[in-house]
Amino acid sequence: MAAPRDGATGRGLHWQGTILYPLALVAMFLAGQLLLGALGVPPSQRAAPAAVPALLALLLTLPWRLRRAWNVDHPWRSLGVRGAAPSLGLALLGGLSRAALLLGLVIAGLAMAGALTWQPRLSLELLANALLLGLGVGFAEELLFRGWLLGELSLLIGGRRAVWLQAGLFSLVHSRFTLQPTLLVGLLGGLLLFGLALALQRRADGGVLWGAVGLHGGLVGGWFLLNQGMVIVDPAAPGWLTGPANPIGGALGWLGLGLLVLALRPSWPRPCR
């Protein structure tokens, strides 16, 4: 089992804290949405501003939690955020490159299936929104899931089980349970593969988080840019192919993410003896 970086021992870890810590952040996010609703902000415009205080709380409290619960002296290095500049940059570029390849596979598959129409309508505003969306979502979610959660679970239950459990939790948190059963199963499976790929990406980068940030943010921002500024996906195309709302839950997403997991398979944690 590969332990989190910086010699963490987890002597101060307890399951209660591991459960309550993210719940407190979620409660802050939901409270922000309720407050914005009381102020008359439309529902579609509440998520981003409500996430800001929750993200700030995460950034401010994570170092304290790692020092106290993981028993580490350099929490940002243990989370994979800090390190040698060249390795951080190379990891980020590697993640972005893999995201581009996955998006290319999806676009090629949709085009061959006749489910896609090219209609370029790019603008500087759209490019800026895609960049901010990819960077914001990629960094925040990777810091929480592949930084804190994966590291904490590794200390509690071991590296192999931690990789699976964090991917399962990531899938459940991001799923839409109002979907039809077949679409829901597709989305859950695609998100599970995505969570596995992101965890293995970090391990392949030697614990550096920025490769996972690049992969996650590249897919989120890249698909937003493609879907909003370059292509139109045929709404009549089968959901099993295109996925619900985004390709992760469709056959093309499963194919690309499955191939990526296989490519990153050497990064699987070894069983503890």
Cβ-based neighbours of 212, under 8 Å, separated by 6 or more = 95, 138, 142, 146, 198, 199, 201, 202, 205
| 52 occurs within a structural domain | no
| 70 occurs within a structural domain | no
| 198 occurs within a structural domain | yes
- Stretch 168-176: mean pLDDT: 92
Interhelix angle 47-65/15-38, rounded to 10 degrees, is 150
Range of the domain at 127: 83-267
Dist CA 16 CA 14 (whole Å): 5
**Counted domains in the chain:** 1
What's the confidence (pLDDT) of residue 5?
56
Count the neighbouring beta carbons within 10 Å of the beta carbon of residue 236.
6
| 263 occurs within a structural domain | yes
Question: Is it the case that residue 177 has pLDDT exceeding 90?
Answer: no
- Stretch 171-175: mean pLDDT: 92
pTM of this prediction exceeds 0.75:
yes
What's the confidence (pLDDT) of residue 1?
38
Tens of pLDDT, residue by residue over 29-58, are 889 989 989 999 888 788 888 888 989 999
What's the confidence (pLDDT) of residue 8?
67
Question: Is it the case that residue 2 has pLDDT exceeding 50?
Answer: no
| 46 occurs within a structural domain | no
| 208 occurs within a structural domain | yes
| 56 occurs within a structural domain | no
Tens of pLDDT, residue by residue over 101-147, are 999 999 999 999 999 999 999 899 999 999 999 999 999 999 999 99
How much of the chain, in percent, has pLDDT values that exceed 90? 72
| 13 occurs within a structural domain | no
Main-chain dihedrals φ then ψ at residue 118, nearest 5 degrees: -80, 130
Tens of pLDDT, residue by residue over 210-243, are 999 999 999 999 999 999 999 999 988 998 999 9
* Residue 273, CA distances (Å) to 1, 2, 121 in order: 8, 12, 56
What's the confidence (pLDDT) of residue 3?
46
Dist CA 80 CA 175 (whole Å): 27
Count the neighbouring beta carbons within 10 Å of the beta carbon of residue 198.
30
- Stretch 68-82: mean pLDDT: 94
- Stretch 175-180: mean pLDDT: 87
On whether the CB atoms of residues 197 and 261 are closer than 8 A, the answer is: yes
